[in-house]
């Protein structure tokens, strides 16, 4: 029965169902089984996930400061029994506010961010702290799971609340950083259905046999499952999910309707637009391109050409003047400059890694590096436009130069989206897919230490906090420069490709 299962999971402590384990089980029985019995399949925590955890902890700690007194149950995540014992003792000793209050009952475990009450004569208020800037449906489920454990433990609760970040809070005034919403009714409404599901999940945990669950839309809803790579390893690559304009819902509709998973097996005549073209490309192996579209796009651009890309931070707790939770702050840019068709390509860049506000230095470096004429090429330029306009509004010293850069932005993305398709795009028009497909594998981001913007953000936060040895910091600083540079090199190469293909128009 436990042929491929980790038998160590059979100790009773390892079968305790905490909120995070239950959440996985609510998405899929098999995900709970893997969580309990196949720890070898658990993906490694990448820097972006770690930043998410760290920010969650930081928000939790900040929320506690709203309470004049409160006792923290300070135990490691796996010390469940000890945490529950300390909580029980704190309640008996008359504590009226407990942070990380923990309860273990009926094989279930709950850790409550803030458990508080006015006096021993009334019931408790349960407060779940969230780092999001709005209330989400999923938060109610989290509290309902806690409510079931508290009921099992015999704790009388009067009300349930979500405390989340307030998008209207503006640094430096953090007095309104949180919004608290009473969701007692919503929690009560979801309890009975959830109780049944938990009973079923407890059986899955106890039986210890891998449940037979086929892959399906549930693998990405409400979250991408942690075991996605494992369960999907036999699925064809590329598949109907790699068609442009289809998406996960459309992909499952195609599979349900036709029973086909491979693009080559589809009948292109049953599809329209880019999806139809992508099926033809997959079948013939020949790239589809409309040179005239590129010729018209590039005709609008003026020499010299600047190729610009930003990387941004988005701190959950604002720390720079005028910022709210998750305001995007540029901390790095790369710019390649091509002054004329015969000129050598030049480059300048800026990377801010100390704890001060990066915006003044970024604005100065931009104002210094850019001339007053020429197009500014930015792939998916709405991002760069927003950053430049915000910087201009923030920095009166360089408003004119920054607005001039913003007004000269041109975007190659629509031309690539509308006038070319290659099988290696895999349904995406992101520069990370388009550049290696059209130019070559040397532009594949997977070979870089940092392969996406979320990881770049996490590494920058790490460096700003001075974490790691000097050698490690130097290595990561170099990796950040390489990552941002890759985006603007890719834009230069794609522009050369556009100029070449335009000649065929």
Contact flag: residue 488 with ligand SF4 (CB under 6 A): no
> Helices (DSSP H) in 65-157: which residue ranges?
80-92, 137-152
Our CB check for ligand SF4 shows the closer of 169 and 225 to be: 225
DSSP-assigned states of every residue in 223-272? S--TTHHHHTTTS-SS-GGGSTTTHHHHHHHHHHHH---SGGGS-GGG--
Interaction of residue 225 with ligand SF4, rule CB under 6 A: yes
Stretch that binds ligand SF4, among 30-38, 88-96, 194-202, 451-459 (CB under 6 A): 30-38
Helix (H) or strand (E) holding 203: helix 184-207
Part of the chain binding ligand SF4 (CB under 6 A), chosen from 23-31, 77-85, 96-104, 237-245:
23-31
Using omega within 30 degrees of 0 as the cis cutoff, is the peptide bond preceding 238 cis? yes
Please, which residue, 34 or 294, has the CB nearer to ligand SF4? Answer: 34
Of 26 and 266, the one with the shorter C-beta distance to ligand SF4 is: 26
Residue 212 CB, shortest distance to ligand SF4, in Å, is: 10
The smaller minimum CB distance to ligand SF4, of residues 211 and 245, is found at 211
Question: Which residues lie below 8 Å from residue 68, measured CB to CB, with a gap of 6+?
Answer: none
The CB-of-224 to ligand SF4 minimum distance in angstroms stands at 8
Crossing angle for the helix pair 29-37 and 19-27, to the nearest 10 degrees: 140
**Min CB(213)–ligand SF4 separation in Å:** 5
Residue appearing with tokens 């335009």: 502
One residue of 22, 71, 110, 219 binding ligand SF4 per CB under 6 A: 219
Instruction: Tell me the per-residue interface mask from 227 to 246 with ligand SF4, x by CB under 6 A, - otherwise.
Output: xx--x---------------
The first and second tokens of residue 377, run together, are: 């090429």
Structure tokens at 333: 């840019």
- For ligand SF4, which residue of 30, 336, 359, 408 counts as binding (CB under 6 A)? 30
CA atoms within 13 A on the CB side of 475: 9
CB nearer ligand SF4, residue 35 or residue 462: 35
User: Site residues for ligand SF4, window 31-70 (CB under 6 A)?
Assistant: 31, 34
CB of 86 to ligand SF4, least distance (A): 34
Q: How is residue 498 written in tokens? A: 């556009």
Cα–Cα distance between 232 and 215 in angstroms, integer? 7
Q: What is the dihedral of CA 223, 226, 228, 233, to 10 degrees?
A: 170
Of the candidates 111, 107, 105, the one whose C-alpha atom is nearest the C-alpha of residue 152 is: 105
Output the smallest distance, CB 176 to ligand SF4, in A.
39
User: Which residue bears the tokens 């609008």?
Assistant: 300
27 near ligand SF4, judged by CB under 6 A: yes
Q: Which residue carries 């522009």 as its tokens?
A: 495
CB of 216 to ligand SF4, least distance (A): 7
Q: At what angle do helices 399-407 and 382-394 cross, to 10 degrees?
A: 170
CB of 226 or CB of 499, closer to ligand SF4: 226
**Cβ 141 to ligand SF4 shortest distance, Å:** 16
* 225 vs 392, beta carbon nearer ligand SF4: 225
Residue with tokens 């009300």, as numbered in its chain: 159
Query: Which of these ranges, 217-225, 328-336, 452-460, 478-486, lies near ligand SF4 under the rule CB under 6 A?
Result: 217-225
Q: Which is nearer to ligand SF4, 31 or 312 (CB)?
A: 31
| CB of residue 208 to ligand SF4, shortest distance in Å | 16
Pairwise CA distance, residues 335 & 347, whole Å: 6
Yes or no: say if 333 and 484 are a contact pair by the CB < 8 Å rule: yes
- Cβ at position 220, least distance to ligand SF4 in Å: 8
Dihedral, 498, 501, 503, 505 alpha carbons, nearest 10: -110
Shorter beta-carbon distance to ligand SF4: residue 41 or 179: 41
From CA 152, how far away is CA 136, in angstroms rounded?
26
Task: Give whichever of 27 and 334 is closer to ligand SF4, judged by the CB atom.
Answer: 27
Which residues 196-215 are close enough to bind ligand SF4 by CB under 6 A? Answer: 213, 215
Residue 225 or 437 with smaller CB distance to ligand SF4: 225
Q: Report how many residues bind ligand SF4 under the rule CB under 6 A.
A: 13
Q: Could you list the residues that contact ligand SF4 (CB under 6 A)?
A: 27-28, 30-31, 34, 213, 215, 218-219, 225, 227-228, 231
């Amino acid at each position: 029965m436990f042929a491929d299962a980790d038998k160590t999971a059979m100790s009773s402590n390892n079968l305790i169902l905490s909120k995070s384990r239950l959440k996985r089980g609510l998405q899929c029985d098999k995900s709970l089984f893997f969580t309990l019995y196949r720890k070898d399949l658990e993906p490694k925590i990448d820097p972006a996930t770690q930043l998410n955890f760290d920010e969650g902890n930081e928000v939790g700690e900040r929320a506690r400061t709203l309470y004049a007194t409160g006792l923290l149950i300070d135990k490691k995540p796996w010390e469940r029994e000890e945490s529950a014992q300390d909580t029980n003792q704190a309640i008996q000793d008359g504590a009226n506010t407990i942070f990380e209050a923990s309860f273990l009952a009926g094989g279930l475990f709950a850790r409550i961010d803030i458990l508080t009450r006015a006096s021993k004569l009334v019931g408790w208020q349960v407060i779940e702290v969230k780092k999001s800037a709005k209330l989400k449906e999923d938060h109610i489920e989290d509290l309902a799971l806690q409510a079931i454990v508290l009921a099992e433990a015999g704790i009388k609760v009067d009300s349930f609340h979500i405390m989340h970040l307030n998008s209207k809070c503006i640094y430096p005034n953090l007095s309104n950083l949180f919004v608290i919403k009473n969701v007692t009714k919503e929690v009560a409404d979801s309890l009975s259905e959830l109780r049944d599901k938990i009973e079923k999940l407890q059986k899955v945990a106890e039986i210890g046999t891998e449940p037979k669950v086929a892959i399906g839309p549930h693998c990405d809803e409400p979250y991408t499952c942690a075991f996605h790579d494992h369960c999907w390893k036999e699925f064809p690559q590329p598949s109907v999910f790699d068609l442009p304009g289809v998406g996960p819902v459309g992909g499952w509709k195609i599979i349900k309707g036709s029973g086909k998973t491979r693009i080559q097996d589809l009948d292109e005549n049953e599809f329209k637009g880019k999806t139809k073209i992508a099926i033809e490309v997959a079948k013939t192996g020949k790239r589809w391109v409309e040179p005239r579209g590129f010729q018209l796009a590039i005709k609008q651009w003026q020499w010299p050409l600047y190729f610009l890309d930003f990387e941004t931070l988005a701190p959950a707790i604002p720390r720079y003047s005028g910022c709210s939770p998750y305001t995007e702050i540029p901390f790095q840019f790369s710019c390649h400059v091509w002054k004329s068709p015969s000129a050598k390509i030049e480059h300048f860049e800026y990377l801010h890694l100390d704890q001060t506000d990066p915006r003044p230095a970024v604005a100065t470096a931009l104002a210094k590096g850019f001339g007053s004429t020429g197009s500014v090429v930015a792939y998916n330029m709405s991002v760069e436009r927003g950053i430049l306009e915000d910087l201009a509004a923030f920095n009166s010293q360089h408003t004119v130069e920054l607005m001039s850069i913003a007004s000269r932005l041109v975007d190659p993305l629509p031309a690539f989206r509308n006038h070319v398709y290659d099988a290696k795009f895999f349904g995406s028009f992101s520069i990370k897919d388009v550049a290696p497909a059209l130019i070559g594998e040397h532009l594949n981001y997977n070979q870089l230490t940092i392969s996406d913007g979320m990881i770049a953000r996490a590494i920058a936060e790490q460096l700003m906090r001075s974490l790691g040895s000097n050698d490690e910091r130097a290595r990561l600083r170099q990796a950040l420069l390489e990552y941002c540079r890759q985006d603007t090199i890719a834009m230069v190469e794609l522009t050369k490709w556009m100029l070449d293909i335009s000649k065929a128009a």
